[in-house]
């Protein structure tokens, strides 16, 4: 690779400073990447666990809902599920994970105090429908937790990829180029010093000869 740089001592010192900063930045980014990977793997494991729990409960709820659909008329089912018992309010904030702004979702109000999760009376509905709705109500916090985990995992994956590319750019491009340029300038400075020393010795020889002439 052709190096175009002014081989002066000032440039040599400037590039050595840049190299030191690049090496420090490389170490910090590697530490950040490693910590991000540790957090990422922890959240992936938790995400898998929560997803399996949610899927198992959803499967149970859907099975009960199908049984209820088999014994209840469509009109009775629609009437029973027409109105929810209470609104669900969520508070969405962000938390900082290694410079990644991840979501933090909390249930502010799940239902009114003393309220029932079923929006209907029990006289015209089946027990399977009651069980299905109760199961869905109970897993709501887990569903919200799962959504938060999956979004956080996605954000961390993106940040890990960006950090990895920066680490590679420093490690394989910027730092080697700086090191090569510094070696080139050092070589040129050494050559200039040797040339100056040679000229000085020749001048001394000439002066000595003139003095002895």
Q: Model confidence over 145-182: pLDDT tens digits?
A: 999 999 999 999 999 999 999 999 999 999 999 999 99
Cα–Cα distances in angstroms (integers) from residue 190 to residues 7, 159, 185, 207, in the given order: 10, 44, 8, 26
Q: Which fold would CATH assign to domain 9-207?
A: Helix Hairpins (1.10.287)
Q: Which two tokens stand for residue 194?
A: 């040797």
How confident is the model at residue 114, as a pLDDT?
A: 47
The closest of 85, 92, 155, 153 to 120, measured between CA atoms, is: 85
How is 56-82 classified by DSSP, letter by letter? HHHHHHHHHHHHHHHHS-HHHHHHHTS
Residue 79 near residue 119 (C-beta atoms within 8 A): no
pLDDT of 83 reads 61
Query: What tens digit of pLDDT does each residue of 70-119 get?
Result: 888 777 777 777 766 667 788 889 999 988 999 998 887 655 544 555 55
pLDDT at 121: 56
CA angle 57, 63, 64 (to 5 degrees): 95
Query: b/e string for 55-65 if b means 16 or more Cβ within 10 A?
Result: eebeeebeebb
Per-residue confidence (pLDDT) for residue 213, from 0 to 100: 62
- Phi, psi (5° rounding) for residue 105? -115, 130
The pLDDT of residue 113 is 45
Report the alpha-carbon angle 141-87-104, nearest 5: 40
In this prediction, residue 76 carries a pLDDT of 76
């Amino acid at each position: 690779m052709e190096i175009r740089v002014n081989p002066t001592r000032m440039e040599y010192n400037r590039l050595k400073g840049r190299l030191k900063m690049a090496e420090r930045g490389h170490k910090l980014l590697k530490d950040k990447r490693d910590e991000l990977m540790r957090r990422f793997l922890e959240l992936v494991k938790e995400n898998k666990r929560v997803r399996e729990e949610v899927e198992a409960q959803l499967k149970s709820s859907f099975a009960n809902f199908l049984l209820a659909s088999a014994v209840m008329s469509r009109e009775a089912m629609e009437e029973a599920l027409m109105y929810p018992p209470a609104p669900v309010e969520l508070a969405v904030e962000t938390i900082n994970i290694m410079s990644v702004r991840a979501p933090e979702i909390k249930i502010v109000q799940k239902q009114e105090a003393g309220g029932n999760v079923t929006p209907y009376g029990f006289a015209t509905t089946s027990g399977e429908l009651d069980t299905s709705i109760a199961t869905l109500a109970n897993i709501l916090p887990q569903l919200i937790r799962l959504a938060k985990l999956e979004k956080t995992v996605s954000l961390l994956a993106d940040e890990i990829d960006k950090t990895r590319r920066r680490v590679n750019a420093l490690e394989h491009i910027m730092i080697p180029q700086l090191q090569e340029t510094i070696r080139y300038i050092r070589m040129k400075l050494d050559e200039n010093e040797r040339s100056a020393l040679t000229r000085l010795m020749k001048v001394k020889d000439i002066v000595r000869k003139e003095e002895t002439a």
